[in-house]
Structure 1
């Protein structure tokens, strides 16, 4: 039985895994996101929703170390060094975090996979990036993670281009999870898939997030995806957070007119 992770989460009393303070990012005179504050705890899933151009993807890229904010701080609680300011450490240390403590699942699996190497090598490559060298152990771990994401073991030597879109996305998930990260960023992970494939992938994501107790930040325009995966929800409009709270509370009893419009547009569809 798959646990329902959409129910309210009992958060630990310890410090948050990720803390964002007054984060702003500008493209010239335009504020893509402005004065964002949030905290994310181990095992918690935060959904960020809003229409195209609302700033949600810009915020995700700032959180994931891809885009330096114009103002504010992104604090991360590392395994061995305590809390660090993401944009005050070196780029080399950020890259190491992205290979160990973090994962990033792109909307298009092609952006997150190496097209010219096999499925097994795509998974094993991330292990090699943190020092693994024993071929047998790497291949065994790759097989384990292919099984976890429901890819048959006999496909381990196939190139990603021979996989369906849903299988490519599952392979990208395996590649990200093999190093046992504590935080996963997901940018519209099901948007490019057919509805039936979306349902299967969402079911898999829900299982893995719950079983591995991994924290996640998921950007989506699909409120059904947010309801299924996220404990808490942030609603963004024109670069600002206009409403946030427990997912079911925000979607069942929206307070801000913009959130009400988003919810009603889904009900009328």
Structure 2
């Protein structure tokens, strides 16, 4: 693992008037590491994810990202064009609802190819070939390359969204409840796929989930949030097997016995 973090969050806060969405948030993400942010609905975890991914303005604090050239600027110091380029190339964002992360009325191949064009690929044959490879990698038949996502099942749409995000070989992926809307059997397939791809590509991932089983399966480190604040963080196995904060203990105790 690299000796320097790829993302560093310090004293982050987001307020909605007098209401605090999240506050006093500090943590690092290292290259190749998966960090899970867990907590009940309203704990501030999605607000935090949106702030660190640049989808929402923060009220205070810094979010620094290590660029490919070694610079480590605060995202707020980047130009709008630089942030858009990062979002299309170096980063990915996997939504809970795949329709939020796909263009539903263009083909599966075009959804994947669009990201390739954002990094300068212009050769139609190369784009189509790479798109085909990625569809097969996420277990979508190559014969479906010209089908639109509206014709796909929920699980297929989520796998297509994953392919669209990973085709540019990003360095950091944000995931917001990526299996939240799927049937249990479909969830298992998508989770297995995510775990395999994250390991193969050495991705850094920040994943928001309310499901502690998802966090255990995918993440090395866990951040537990309650009422907009971090109440506990540490190695995932340690947090789940030996929770120290009463709220974490309550969360762990609520997991049904298998």
Q: By the TM > 0.5 criterion, same fold?
A: yes
For this pair of structures, how many residues does the alignment match?
A: 258
Equivalent of 1:256 in 225, 238, 245: 245
Equivalent of 1:29 in 12, 18, 37: 18
Structure 2 SS opposite 1:145: helix
Residues 117-132 of structure 1: matches in 2 within 5 Å?
117-132=106-121
Structure 1 SS opposite 2:206: strand
Could you state the TM-score of these two structures normalised by the residue count of structure 2?
0.98
What is the aligned partner in structure 1 of residue 8 from structure 2?
19
Deviation of 1:147 (Å): 1.1
Structure 1: which 4+ aligned runs deviate by more than 6 Å? none
Residues 66-77 of structure 1: matches in 2 within 5 Å?
66-77=55-66
TM-superposition CA deviations, 1:166-206 (whole Å, max 9, x none):
00000000000010000000000000000000000000000
1:98 aligns with 2:87: yes
What is the aligned partner in structure 1 of residue 98 from structure 2?
109
Equivalent of 1:49 in 33, 38, 49: 38
What is the aligned partner in structure 2 of residue 170 from structure 1?
159
Gap runs ≥5 in structure 2? none
Structure 2 SS opposite 1:96: helix
Equivalent of 1:144 in 125, 133, 136: 133
Deviation of 1:268 (Å): 6.3
Could you state the TM-score of these two structures normalised by the residue count of structure 1?
0.94
Gap runs ≥5 in structure 1? 1-10
Query: What is the root-mean-square deviation in Å for CA atoms of aligned residues?
Result: 1.0
